[in-house]
Chain A
């Protein structure tokens, strides 16, 4: 009862290799930068793009297995919420939702009744007669969700479902989407470039870069232990690679680091920018990592100030405005950075 896919798609110089399984009731987020191949994967699963090699199976049904078999999208038990929803503008919200059941052979009255139930479920019973243009972004997204789910597909595909919304709506729509996904018994694949969407909505995150899977795991794991610079950047951590022997780690890009947990071999070290302290002089007599750095850039965030520092290794530090004033920091200033060994997570590379 699982979606098992081994997607290989070659388009020109681009190549996507993505093994993927999604269990019933599970929400998997495909997270990655633009051009990583996320949408290609979604289109392949939906049947809008045949895979070059590999296969796609849902339960016992084979959807795509070149060269002998390709099931077109209309014959796959799949529901898709597209990035800008793609609601049919000449149809009302109700007719949009009823479109799938009608297309799959239900008579008009039953299709409308089903559509009405679903509009009710997403809280839009009052907007059934409205055209998509008359709906707000959040409402349109819910109509799109109802339209995708009304046929009770075995696989739900969401393509950047929150990207078209403005920030004020996003929070609310995200939580309502989470609720609906929790109720949905099928398999969900969510494609997004927003780590927050992935963290909130997904049970498991698969991170793709340049068509390859670079990391996979539960959100908490990914958030704590990023494995690539891209993921580290997404979750806002400093990340280094190095070779450990005991509590000493020699970093690949220069410098060394002392950690609390002894390890051996290739490791990743990750710590938050808030774990970094800045000092005018070299601090003494504490179990800290300390190294000289130069201020490259200072950026004001909501309550903190992010300081980008060059050194061995370069590092991001989040400090209070008071620290900036106290140390008189400006680009070019030379200071010392310190990180407690216990603040850094160490895990095998």
Chain B
């Protein structure tokens, strides 16, 4: 407005991250990492060993890992075909479907848990019949934990896989068809391998989300040690009486998930960034 700056400085070096990006990037990194550091600083490390090998924690940890893995398998079995449907079919109202799939992302998990109860609970729309005909009741069971976790985690998988599918070149599928491959064979031998990185990324996200699931799980599956008390539930209840223990439990969960994710990453993505 005052002195027009006709002469632009040309001293900015190429290849350097512009400040406009670097500063928010570093703030963003700090925002994500500092709370973790805060937790690690506050951890009563001396009790870590005892906690880690105590029966309750072992039980909760094992249950968490088993349930998150089963939920992930469930998500893969149902979610990959769903992603395919969203990405490749010419179904009418696909946009609406896509929006519906993401609903569990915006829904508070507790509300998701209530919704699951209303459908799969003992008096739920479907649960009533399950209970009546097969004597199956999902709430307060380990299966219920898996269902709740899958409900919350599946959108992560579906979105990742759908993105990969949309990015994949569908002409390879056409090539397979001209070679005599059925759509199923094409999907298995051509499509799936070509979107493998997306599926792996989605699986990891899905598993991580399932592992940390709290609201839907406690609402739908309740809380009972050894059956439905996963680590996040144990952490929450420990917070009521013993915040120190809660922090230790959180750190345990954190460490285990980091170890699993890093080893998976090395195995499946070959350590590539």
A86 to chain B, nearest CB (A): 4
Q: Considering the chains assembled together, what is the distance between the CA atoms of A47 and B178 in angstroms?
A: 8
Q: Considering the chains assembled together, what is the distance between the CA atoms of A78 and B177 in angstroms?
A: 10
Query: B182 near A: Cβ within 8 Å?
Result: yes
User: A47 touching B177 by the CB < 8 A rule?
Assistant: yes
User: B178 touching A46 by the CB < 8 A rule?
Assistant: yes
Q: List the B side residues contacting A46 at CB < 8 Å.
A: 174, 178
B235 to chain A, nearest CB (A): 41
Residues of A within 8 A of B (CB): 46-48, 72-76, 78-80, 82, 86, 88-90, 99-100, 103-104, 147-148, 151
List of 5 A-B pairs having minimum Cβ-Cβ separation, nearest first: A100-B179, A103-B181, A73-B177, A86-B175, A103-B180
User: B175 touching A80 by the CB < 8 A rule?
Assistant: yes
Q: Considering the chains assembled together, what is the distance between the CA atoms of A230 and B172 in angstroms?
A: 33
Q: Give which listed residue, B169, B174, B181, B194, contacts A48 with CB less than 8 A.
A: B174
Q: Give which listed residue, A73, A76, A90, A99, contacts B174 with CB less than 8 A.
A: A73
User: A151 touching B179 by the CB < 8 A rule?
Assistant: yes
Q: List the A side residues contacting B237 at CB < 8 Å.
A: none
Q: List the B side residues contacting A90 at CB < 8 Å.
A: 193-194, 196
Q: Considering the chains assembled together, what is the distance between the CA atoms of A218 and B169 in angstroms?
A: 37
A153 to chain B, nearest CB (A): 9
Given A82-B171, A86-B171, decide whether A99 and B177 contact each other with a Cβ distance below 8 A: no
User: A78 touching B172 by the CB < 8 A rule?
Assistant: no
A272 to chain B, nearest CB (A): 41
Tell me if B's interface is mostly helix, strand, loop or mixed: helix
Q: Considering the chains assembled together, what is the distance between the CA atoms of A103 and B190 in angstroms?
A: 12
User: B194 touching A82 by the CB < 8 A rule?
Assistant: no
Q: Considering the chains assembled together, what is the distance between the CA atoms of A76 and B181 in angstroms?
A: 11
A336 to chain B, nearest CB (A): 54
Q: Considering the chains assembled together, what is the distance between the CA atoms of A90 and B190 in angstroms?
A: 8
User: A147 touching B179 by the CB < 8 A rule?
Assistant: yes
Q: Restricting to B71-130, which residues have a CB under 8 Å from any CB of A?
A: none
A50 to chain B, nearest CB (A): 13
Q: Give which listed residue, A47, A82, A99, contacts B181 with CB less than 8 A.
A: A99
User: A88 touching B174 by the CB < 8 A rule?
Assistant: no
B54 to chain A, nearest CB (A): 46
User: A99 touching B179 by the CB < 8 A rule?
Assistant: yes
Q: Considering the chains assembled together, what is the distance between the CA atoms of A147 and B175 in angstroms?
A: 10
Q: Give which listed residue, B171, B180, B189, B193, contacts A104 with CB less than 8 A.
A: B180
Q: List the A side residues contacting B171 at CB < 8 Å.
A: 82, 86
A-B contact pairs, 24 of them (CB 8 A): A46-B174, A48-B174, A72-B177, A73-B174, A74-B178, A76-B178, A78-B178, A80-B178, A86-B171, A86-B172, A86-B175, A88-B172, A88-B189, A88-B194, A89-B194, A90-B194, A99-B179, A99-B181, A103-B180, A103-B181, A103-B185, A104-B180, A147-B179, A151-B179
Query: B176 near A: Cβ within 8 Å?
Result: yes
Q: List the B side residues contacting A89 at CB < 8 Å.
A: 194
Q: Considering the chains assembled together, what is the distance between the CA atoms of A72 and B183 in angstroms?
A: 10
Q: List the A side residues contacting B174 at CB < 8 Å.
A: 46, 48, 73, 86
A64 to chain B, nearest CB (A): 14
Q: Considering the chains assembled together, what is the distance between the CA atoms of A88 and B190 in angstroms?
A: 7
Q: List the B side residues contacting A75 at CB < 8 Å.
A: 180
Given A86-B172, A88-B172, decide whether A79 and B193 contact each other with a Cβ distance below 8 A: no
Q: List the B side residues contacting A74 at CB < 8 Å.
A: 177-182
Q: List the A side residues contacting B193 at CB < 8 Å.
A: 88, 90
Q: Considering the chains assembled together, what is the distance between the CA atoms of A100 and B190 in angstroms?
A: 12
By beta carbon, the residue of chain A nearest B181 is A103
Q: List the A side residues contacting B189 at CB < 8 Å.
A: 88, 99
By beta carbon, the residue of chain A nearest B190 is A88
By beta carbon, the residue of chain A nearest B194 is A90
Q: List the B side residues contacting A82 at CB < 8 Å.
A: 171, 175
Q: List the A side residues contacting B177 at CB < 8 Å.
A: 47-48, 72-74
Q: List the B side residues contacting A48 at CB < 8 Å.
A: 174, 177-178
Q: Restricting to B142-188, which residues have a CB under 8 Å from any CB of A?
A: 169, 171-172, 174-182, 185
User: B182 touching A103 by the CB < 8 A rule?
Assistant: yes
Residues 193-206 of chain B, each 1 if its beta carbon lies under 8 Å from chain A, else 0: 11010000000000
Q: Considering the chains assembled together, what is the distance between the CA atoms of A216 and B178 in angstroms?
A: 28
Q: List the A side residues contacting B185 at CB < 8 Å.
A: 103
Q: List the B side residues contacting A103 at CB < 8 Å.
A: 176, 179-182, 185
Q: Considering the chains assembled together, what is the distance between the CA atoms of A76 and B178 in angstroms?
A: 8
Q: Give which listed residue, B169, B178, B181, B190, contacts A79 with CB less than 8 A.
A: B178
Q: Considering the chains assembled together, what is the distance between the CA atoms of A82 and B185 in angstroms?
A: 20
Q: List the B side residues contacting A76 at CB < 8 Å.
A: 178
Q: A48-B177, A78-B178, A88-B189 are in contact. List 19 more A-B contacts (CB 8 A).
A: A46-B174, A47-B178, A48-B174, A48-B178, A72-B177, A73-B177, A74-B180, A79-B178, A80-B178, A86-B169, A86-B171, A88-B175, A88-B190, A88-B194, A90-B194, A99-B179, A100-B179, A103-B179, A103-B185
